[in-house]
Amino acid sequence: MNPTLTLYGTALSGHTHRVALFLHLLQLPYRHVDASAAVRRSAEFLRLNPLGQIPVLQDGGLVLADSNAILVYLAKRYAPDSGWLPEDAVGAARVQRWLSLAAGEIAFGPASARISARFYDTGVPPELTHRLADKVLGFMDVALAPDDYLAGAAPTLADLACYAYIAHAPEGGIALDPYPNVLDWIARIQALPHFVAMPED
């Protein structure tokens, strides 16, 4: 079967990985197109996403940008009754809270620290990214004390949105040892059927 789904992104992008991981967990065939910085500046790519950001998902004639928006689309389109995006008000709100944290504190904390350490200088002082990373990791550790997953007893989009940049936080000099519940949660995500890791290099 030829996949109708095409994912534009890069292997070391946590934003791309959260979408690729969900595609693997759902066992949806897709085509990956490497979208390096040069590709993202091309007129062809900018027609897909005028902001020049990855990932971008193409599903037939539909083009979607923003990793969290893509996760919501995939859950609604291909796994509507699976629990990945709860239908009840409380469950949906809990997931949305973590999607917001993934785009906020996690992006500007552990993700930013990793970018500065591995790829380029973001201009943000390390003490700021590390302080924000410790704050969000402490919050996560407390949130995971009563539950196996971020939004409750079962995995949801909340976990997929947060996983990559938390699991790879040590690449930015962020220690995870002080957060045992977070470490246990990472292990549970990695034990999910059809899990695929983001490469380290």
191 by Cβ neighbours in 10 Å (0-12 / 13-18 / 19+) ranks as: exposed
Mark which of 44, 78, 112 sits at the end of a domain. 78
- Does this model's pTM top 0.75? yes
Residue 1 scores a pLDDT above 60? no
CB 52, CB 46: distance < 8 Å: yes
At residue 165, the 3 state secondary structure works out as: helix
Supply the CATH number for residue 72's domain. Answer: 3.40.30.10
Pick from 182, 166, 176, 173: nearest CA to 127: 173
Mean per-residue pLDDT, 66-87: 96
64 & 136 share domain: no
Share of the chain above pLDDT 90, in %: 90
Residue 70, in any domain of the structure: yes
Rounded CA separation 51/40 (Å): 9
Q: What is the reported pLDDT for 123?
A: 83
Mark which of 40, 57, 78 sits at the end of a domain. 78
pLDDT digits (tens, 9 = 90+) for 119-174: 988 888 888 999 999 999 999 999 999 999 999 999 999 999 999 999 999 999 99
Number of domains in the chain: 2
Tracing tokens 């946590």 back to the chain, one arrives at 14
Q: What is the reported pLDDT for 120?
A: 87
pLDDT digits (tens, 9 = 90+) for 190-201: 999 999 999 877
Residue 42, in any domain of the structure: yes
Domain residue limits at 164: 89-190
98 & 158 share domain: yes
Rounded CA separation 188/94 (Å): 19
